[in-house]
Amino acid sequence: MLYLSDRIISGSFADSLLKWLPSTLKASISCRLEEIVVRSLEQTETWRRWRLFDEISERSNLSLFCVGSSSEHYVINCRDKHISRELFLGGEQRDFQKLLASIDIIAQKGRRPTLLVDVGANLGSICIPAVARGHFAKAIAIEPHPLNCRLLRANAALNGVQDRVAIFEMAAGAQPEEALELELSTDNWGDHRIASGSNAQSQSSSSCERLQVQSKRLDDILSLTEVGEALLWIDVQGYEGHVLRGARALLESKTPICIEFWPYALERSGSIEPLLESVGGYETFYDLAQPDRRRPIDELRLLFDEIGYGEQQTDILIL
């Protein structure tokens, strides 16, 4: 189901939303001054949900609403046409299936992590179901953007896992304490990027809005007792190599690492060499697009050329 709430919802706005729903559902919709409740929305065609989301996002007086599925409920950002829209369309972020695939591969190696370290947690669409569904006993969630982090806290409480998800409003980086600049995306709130590397100067002069955030090393966030029981999940738009430079304890323990592998973004952030250096002591990796194929870690550099330096990307599990 879908809940929309705002100070004022006009009849014309309600009508504009209802036109995207099949007539069989209209009888189950109640419209009041401050709330619209649409039941069984997940049973309608995807294109209808897509158009409904776009209709909502174009309304400047709406910012947040709540979506629910049979598993979790989330407060989402209607300005975000990526992760929030995914949750609106299907009740689950597609990347969660990659987390499950990673858990299965790790289990085949005789390991069962109990702590998920979610770097770039956004509004919690990975760490919250991971804990709520019992895949992990607890999670550490790191998210630098203030609104994303507020939604993350709200969603943890909404799903009853606030005592098992430790939330840090900061970036993870290579230095103990560092002020970094976050380059903001206007329509993809999971695509905010740390300005770094050789392109930091040109990035800082771009027209994108920027926000100063604080960072810490993962070494300073995790205790030594937590390192051996963790799975490290990183999705930070190319900053992955710098995050790993601040995670020596995790690397020395050969903690399983799952990262978004996007050659263009890694190059843009000056992150390729730090990434390759950080994982050089590991043995293998799996491209989760081909989870049955085990590859030696020294082939990781080849994967850059295989994918190319455009918008193509994949996710890899490093063991």
Q: Are residues 112 and 143 in the same domain?
A: yes
The whole-number pLDDT of residue 35 equals 41
pLDDT for the residue 295 = 97
Predicted pLDDT of residue 206: 54
Looking up residue 123, the CATH number of its domain turns out to be 3.40.50.150
263 and 121 within one domain: yes
Q: Which residues 6+ apart lie within 8 Å of 244 measured at CB?
A: 234, 251, 257, 274, 275, 278, 279
Specify whether 107 is located in the same domain as 231: yes
In this structure, the answer to whether residues 32 and 109 fall within a common structural domain is no
- Dihedral sign (CA 159, 160, 162, 163): negative
pLDDT at 243: 96
Structurally, the chain folds into a number of domains equal to: 2
- In a shared domain, residues 241 and 211: yes
Question: Terminal CA-to-CA distance of the chain, rounded, Å?
Answer: 39
Count of residues for the chain? 319
267 and 286 share one domain: yes
Backbone angles phi, psi at 140, to 5 degrees: -115, 125
- Of 195, 192, 95, give the one whose Cα is nearest residue 149: 192
> What's the one-letter identity of residue 294?
R
Q: Is the same domain home to 8 and 124?
A: no
Q: Which of 90, 111, 126 lies at the terminal end of a domain, its last residue?
A: 90
10-residue mean pLDDT profile of the chain (319 residues): values are: 41 56 56 40 59 66 70 86 83 90 96 96 96 98 93 94 97 92 77 66 58 94 88 94 96 96 93 96 96 96 92 95
Distance CA(200)–CA(207), nearest Å, equals 13
What is the model's pLDDT at position 56? 67
Instruction: Say if CB 278 and CB 299 are below 8 A apart.
Output: no
Q: Give the other-Cβ count within 10 Å of 181's Cβ.
A: 17
pLDDT in the model for residue 34: 35
**Of the candidates 32, 58, 90, which is a domain's last residue?**
90
**Helix (H/G/I), strand (E/B), else coil: 13:** helix
pLDDT of residue 32: 39
The percent of the chain in helix, strand and coil, each rounded to the nearest 5, is 35, 25, 40
For residues 301 and 276, the answer to whether their CB atoms sit within 8 Å is yes
Tell me, yes or no, whether 194 and 70 share the same domain.
no
Are 129 and 48 found together in one domain? no
The answer to whether 234 and 259 are in contact (CB under 8 A) is yes
Domain shared by 192 and 314, yes or no:
yes
Which tokens go with 77?
């950002």
For the four alpha carbons of 45, 49, 50 and 55, in that order, the dihedral sign comes to: positive
Quick one: pLDDT at residue 25? 57
Whether residue 117 sits in one domain with residue 58: no
Range of the domain at 201: 95-318
| Structure tokens that stand for 227 in this block | 């390192």
Residues 44 and 310: their CA atoms lie apart, in Å, by 34
Residue in 171, 76, 96, 170 with CA at minimum distance from that of residue 136: 96
Contact criterion met (CB below 8 Å) for 161 and 152: no
Strand partners, 213: 180
Phi-psi label, residue 125: left if phi above 0, alpha if psi -120 to 50, beta otherwise: alpha
Does 101 lie in the same domain as 82? Answer: no
**Residue whose C-alpha is closest to residue 172's, from 210, 121, 106:** 121
This prediction has a pTM of 0.82
Helix axes of 46-57 and 11-18: crossing angle, nearest 10 degrees: 150
- DSSP character at residue 170: S
Could you count the other beta carbons within 10 Å of the beta carbon of residue 127?
A: 31
* Residue 4, H or E segment: strand 2-5
- Report the C-alpha gap between 164 and 295 in whole angstroms: 34
**Which of 25, 55, 90 is the C-terminal boundary of a domain?**
90
